[in-house]
Structure 1
Amino acid sequence: MTTATQLPRLLLVNAGMRVYREYLLRSLATRYRVHLFSSYPVSWELSYIAGHTSVRSTTDADDMLTSALELHSADAFAGMLCWDEASILAAARVTQALGLPGGDPAVVERCRDKRLTRLTLDEAGVAQPRSVAVSTVDEAVTAATELGGPVVLKPRALGGSLGVVVADDPEQVRERFPFTLGTEVAGVPRADAPVLVEQYVSGPEISVDAVVHQGRVEVMFIAHKDLGFAPYCEEVGHRMDGADPLLKDPELLDQLQHIHTALGIRDGATHTEFKLTGSGPVLIEVNGRLGGDLIPQLGQLVTGIDPALAAASVACGRSPELRPDRTLVGSVRFYYPDREGTIGAVRVEESGLPGTVALVMPVAEPGFRVAPPPEGIMEGRLAVAVAVGDDPAGCRATLDAVATRIRTVWA
């Protein structure tokens, strides 16, 4: 029998918001002694961790490196894990310094910097939108004119569809460029040409959460993305089928492996997004971390695969355990306010909801300032719900029912 002190030691960088990431930390605690590096006060995480270190910034490797080396020398880490987009590059630099699997900052940079992703994968012959990096609105208009048709404006180094907007013509590019240029995340450096102007690709969008061990890509889940608040590309929900035919689609799987090989990804967890077109899958982006928006939790509920333990395994240089034990369907949906304001409280009346509700909880806390998109991109969400069952229509009906039970008290 393995005792707590015999469990492998895992270094985790920033747990993230409880509502979105607690399930991952809960799973890790069953197999690892987790030591947390955090740039904010630790609270709910204490139930799942063996220790923690406060650092000034998790986006600066130098702020973590001294402590990491001291801790590693005293009691070696088996691996290092980070699912916080803003921190993954700094975490990779620390991982490299500790000599742990997945520690290649150049690989992470090729994923974080979407311009580098495009350049690398163009050379590899990957189907993806034509893309131009720009600094000014005039450059954006010129690029959009050259690309033709609708274009997508997106930040070069952010995730979660932050700052992403569609523009149909040069006039809309001028109107919407400031939105993209002005979208920033604390700790993420701004490139010299921080905005990408890309061809708009028609078709449904999917995301693929996978783990990579010694260069081999293994798919865990495929989610179908629901977008809202056009022309802004706000991710309002995700749908998943544990028996999705795409899980065995040879063209998609071959393309996924080719992309990861070209980017040099050897060990780690990834979240890759594609548009499905009549001529095959077209790459939108690759993220060097587990997906957000509760997508991995939805995957665990519909398949039984544990994404946290799979990601931790490859972070420790071990083959992941991917053993699905169910094939359900499920959906996650986010709920938004119809006006701007400061939250006093958000409550969800759960009594009487269908049994297919797997999870429902407020996202906005008292004192949060919220608004519908585009002002409230992601941060404007009031609540989230997950429904899991045997029937997609039943899941939709359940999530519709949740919408009628959300009560917002404005401060």
Structure 2
Amino acid sequence: MASIGTPPFVALVDSYSTGNFLPPAFARLGVDAVHVQSTPELMPSMLGPDLGAYRGSFVSADADGFSATAAELASLDVRAVVAGQEPGVPLADALSERLGLATNGSALSRARRDKFEMIETLRAAGIRTARQFKSGDARSVAAWAEEHGTYPVVVKPLSSASTDHVFICDDAAATEAAARQVLAARDIFDLPNTEVLVQSFLAGTEYIVDTVSADGRAYVCGVWQYEKTVVGSGKRIYDRDVLLAPDAAPVPELIAYVRTVLDALGIRNGPAHAEVILTPEGPALVEIGARLNGNMNPAFHDLCLGTNQADLTALAYARPQEFLERHADGVYTKRQDAVVHNTRTIADGVVEAVDQNVVDKIASLPTVHLVSVKLAPGKRIRPTVDLLTSPLRIFMTGGDSAALRADHRAIQDLKDEVYVVRAGS
């Protein structure tokens, strides 16, 4: 590894999927990246890192924790250690702390990954949250829901993402069944669910609040409102993420709340992606990840926001003073209307082909910036029940809200023709 080039370097830990935007962002600032893998094998459920974008790569699997990895990075004069995706958060925290770099520290790492610990940490700080309980026994989860006294309740894994195995349950039987499904499954990061989380249902509209911090000062780089739709099972799934103006209600209230969450969870450096519900009592956290927004696309966000979370993250680590000076106002500017649309499907089978002509028709709609086709030929397509099973992600911007709505309607007439599907497994 010592011969890979000349510093400065950044180490990106578990840079799956959206984390692939980070190496070019650092490169634009003259910083090369090395990749650190926190598990012996790559996680099969996620789009792996593009190792061609790195000057070197190695696996942190040494028996004495991470000391060998820390020594390796120290020998390279690494200037920052950043989590590229959710599983890399604890190791990035530990390595950055050990090396004396900008860090969120390891003391609250578990609270930044385990959703039960996350909410308990906020509760201890006097911050509004859902009520909750966790157990490895499905009957105990159902018993808590009965004692809790108010349905619906939310059942989900402790440390997953992308609405993986999230259930909204209206009675004890449904709660126990959902808990059994969670406990029988592996999470999105291919880890077994040994416990399940049940929480009181937060009624209200849900929002995204994305931030990047340097030395405890957070810049809010976008607030989006979730619009959801109901599928045949009765489950509400994500349809459109709509960019809001920074001065539009309730954005200032959401931002003020998320700043208290960042402080309570010790997120002082790097990106964060928060999901918050505005309840009748005020904002309450669903969850927060100390990593990039999974819907982040640099070119798209540059158009509608003038910057993007990947470039902001690179600047915050590589040139923190410049980051603080350039973003001293602390809040983004909305340049134009924008939407991220996650399509749904009822198809069930194997993708035989992708009809590029249909993809091109969608891409040619006036407000469509990018069509992300998530399934290649040979992949399994299933009816949409969450973000993981949404077959297309479409980034839309320009025009006005009416133009975006018109193109959204047009997409509904085309989306089911994108994939040629062979029924069956």
The aligned counterpart of 2:200 is: 199
Alignment partners' CA distance in 1, 2:297 and 2:108: 23
2:348 is the counterpart of 1:349 = no
The aligned counterpart of 2:92 is: 91
The aligned counterpart of 1:363 is: 374
1:145-184 equivalent positions in 2, closer than 5 A: 145-147=146-148, 148-184=150-186
Residue 233 of structure 1: CA displacement? 5.3
Alignment partners' CA distance in 2, 1:245 and 1:296: 24
Instruction: Output one character per residue of 1:123-167: Cα deviation in whole Å (capped at 9) or x when no partner.
Output: 111111111112222111111112222101111111222111100
Residue 359 of structure 1: CA displacement? 0.5
2:234 is the counterpart of 1:224 = no
Alignment partners' CA distance in 2, 1:342 and 1:305: 38
Q: Pick one of 253, 256, 266 that aligns with 2:255.
A: 253
The aligned counterpart of 1:335 is: 343
Residue 288 of structure 1: CA displacement? 1.4
The aligned counterpart of 1:53 is: 57
Residue 275 of structure 1: CA displacement? 0.6
The aligned counterpart of 1:100 is: 101
Residue 116 of structure 1: CA displacement? 1.1
| Count of residue correspondences | 397
TM-score of the aligned structures, taking structure 2 as reference length? 0.82
The aligned counterpart of 1:34 is: 33
Alignment partners' CA distance in 1, 2:185 and 2:317: 31
Judging changes above 3 Å, is the alpha-carbon distance between structure 1 residues 187 and 46 closer, same or farther for their aligned structure 2 residues?
A: closer
> Which piece of structure 1 moves more, 216-225 or 395-404?
395-404
Residue 339 of structure 1: CA displacement? 2.3
Alignment partners' CA distance in 2, 1:61 and 1:388: 49
Judging changes above 3 Å, is the alpha-carbon distance between structure 1 residues 96 and 21 closer, same or farther for their aligned structure 2 residues?
A: closer
Residue 301 of structure 1: CA displacement? 3.1
Residue 242 of structure 1: CA displacement? 4.5
Judging changes above 3 Å, is the alpha-carbon distance between structure 1 residues 395 and 55 closer, same or farther for their aligned structure 2 residues?
A: same
Instruction: Output one character per residue of 1:156-189: Cα deviation in whole Å (capped at 9) or x when no partner.
Output: 1112221111001112213322233334236676
Alignment partners' CA distance in 1, 2:112 and 2:384: 26
The aligned counterpart of 1:238 is: 241
Contact 1:167-1:231 within 8 A present in 2 as well: no
Instruction: Output one character per residue of 1:98-125: Cα deviation in whole Å (capped at 9) or x when no partner.
Output: 2221151232211211111121111111
Judging changes above 3 Å, is the alpha-carbon distance between structure 1 residues 371 and 23 closer, same or farther for their aligned structure 2 residues?
A: same
2:14 is the counterpart of 1:10 = no
Q: What is the SS of the residue equivalent to 1:309? A: helix
Alignment partners' CA distance in 2, 1:295 and 1:204: 24
Residue 286 of structure 1: CA displacement? 1.8
TM-score of the aligned structures, taking structure 1 as reference length? 0.85
Instruction: Output one character per residue of 1:41-75: Cα deviation in whole Å (capped at 9) or x when no partner.
Output: 999836643x1214277xx89686534522431x3
Instruction: Output one character per residue of 1:352-380: Cα deviation in whole Å (capped at 9) or x when no partner.
Output: 72231110131112221120134xx4442
The aligned counterpart of 1:111 is: 112
> Which piece of structure 1 moves more, 35-44 or 208-217?
35-44
Judging changes above 3 Å, is the alpha-carbon distance between structure 1 residues 10 and 328 closer, same or farther for their aligned structure 2 residues?
A: same
Instruction: Output one character per residue of 1:322-359: Cα deviation in whole Å (capped at 9) or x when no partner.
Output: 48565211111122332221122223431472231110
Judging changes above 3 Å, is the alpha-carbon distance between structure 1 residues 357 and 275 closer, same or farther for their aligned structure 2 residues?
A: same
Judging changes above 3 Å, is the alpha-carbon distance between structure 1 residues 180 and 191 closer, same or farther for their aligned structure 2 residues?
A: closer
Q: CA RMSD in A?
A: 3.1
Provide structure 2 residue ranges, at least 5 long, that are not aligned to the other structure: none
Instruction: Output one character per residue of 1:11-56: Cα deviation in whole Å (capped at 9) or x when no partner.
Output: 1123323xx455444333312212223555999836643x121427
Q: What is the SS of the residue equivalent to 1:245? A: coil
Contact 2:103-2:269 within 8 A present in 1 as well: yes
Overall identity of the aligned pairs, in %: 24
Provide structure 1 residue ranges, at least 5 long, that are not aligned to the other structure: none
Q: Which amino acid aligns with 1:37?
A: V
